Amino acid sequence: MLMTHNHPILSAVDLTKTYQVSTGTHGRRRLTALDRVSLQLGSGETVGIAGESGCGKSTLAKVLAGLLMADSGTVFYKGTPVAELNSVEARLFRRSTQMIFQDPFSSLNPRMRIGDSIREPLIIAGLPPEIQQRELERHMAAVGLPMDASNRFPDEFSGGQRQRIGIARALAASPSILIADEPVSSLDISIQAQIINILLEMKREFTLSMVIVSHNLLVLRHLCDRIIIMYLGTIVESGPAEKLFQSCRHPYTEALIAAIPGIHTAMSGGRELLQDDIPSPLDLPSGCRFHPRCRHAAHICRTTPPVLTEYPGHHSTACHRSEELYGVR
């Protein structure tokens, strides 16, 4: 499944995003959701983003989709900073980058018939009515919705059907980049498989580049060429999906994999590796942010943040002890 993706269609360099939050005792404080995050999405590539709740996945997805401004850092569309795109290019970027949400209900107008919701991007694109109708039928068929559904309203559909509607609406904009934030996590297992298959089919049929956020590593293994693991606002490991499962290079990744029922990494020997709760992003640990929970933490881990280091095979990890624990390059 792994392909060579030479030209990034979307990339990000040093994205930092903070939120102002009120805390009962300390008044207002800044919470760091993303801390100098850089990544590349190759043309035709599917990249997964995983990590525990609160590690910054949705924030990253929204910044990449242009729905949220980073405090600093740059998002590039086909090599040009998004902020420097001219008005025509900026419109193209907005249209060609579509987002699918965990709950598509919130992004669908409850008073709009779903056929009109899916048709909306086609109207905005100025397509003639007969082509709008043809495209509507094509996209509804692609996600397995019957045509007579187009006259109904969102609240008449189940969660899985709404997700199909959300995908059809995103596809109607003829995107080249699809950013999906937990697209299946609110659905029943059997429905999840159907939506995953639709996403795989979309990728093939519409030659899409995709970013898929999920806390479910097995979903990402199935869908993605490459997986990025985040921890408290930083990337701790990134590598080809299968390689990450077979030979990860970071104790946090190993712990996440070991926590999947039925999968045990060679080192874990079936033990539960992820202990204690994730610390608050308002109170980030010194050095390696994972050190309070890491069974391999050494003195340097408490004092010095590890740098994301490249290993052969497009595999990077940020861990002082990676070579010692997982072998030299």
Ligand X SMILES: Nc1ncnc2c1ncn2[C@@H]1O[C@H](COP(=O)(O)OP(=O)(O)OP(=O)(O)O)[C@@H](O)[C@H]1O
Burial of 175 (0-12, 13-18, 19+ CB in 10 A): buried
Q: Among residues 202 and 213, whose Cβ is nearest to ligand X? A: 213
From the list ligand SF4, ligand X, Mg ion, none, partner contacted by residue 251 (C-beta under 5 to 8 A by kind): ligand SF4
Give min distance, CB of 232 to ligand X, in A: 9
From the list Mg ion, ligand SF4, ligand X, none, partner contacted by residue 33 (C-beta under 5 to 8 A by kind): ligand X
From the list Mg ion, ligand SF4, ligand X, none, partner contacted by residue 56 (C-beta under 5 to 8 A by kind): ligand X
Give min distance, CB of 50 to ligand SF4, in A: 16
Give min distance, CB of 287 to ligand SF4, in A: 7
Residue nearest to Mg ion (CB): 58
Q: Decide if residue 59 touches Mg ion (CB under 5 A).
A: no
Q: Among residues 117 and 214, whose Cβ is nearest to Mg ion? A: 214
- 311: Cβ–Cβ under 8 A, 6 or more apart, which residues? 239, 249, 317, 322, 329
- 193: Cβ–Cβ under 8 A, 6 or more apart, which residues? none
Choosing from 291, 315, 316, 326, the residue that interacts with ligand SF4 (CB under 6 A) is 291
Q: Phi/psi at 135 (nearest 5 deg)?
A: -65, -40
Q: Which residues pair with 28 in a beta bridge?
A: 22
Choosing from 40, 58, 209, 238, the residue that interacts with Mg ion (CB under 5 A) is 58
Rule CB under 6 A: which residues touch ligand X? Answer: 19, 21, 31, 33, 51, 53-59, 215, 281
* Residue with tokens 């002890």, as numbered in its chain: 321
- 283: Cβ–Cβ under 8 A, 6 or more apart, which residues? none
Residues lying near Mg ion in the complex (CB under 5 A) are found at 58
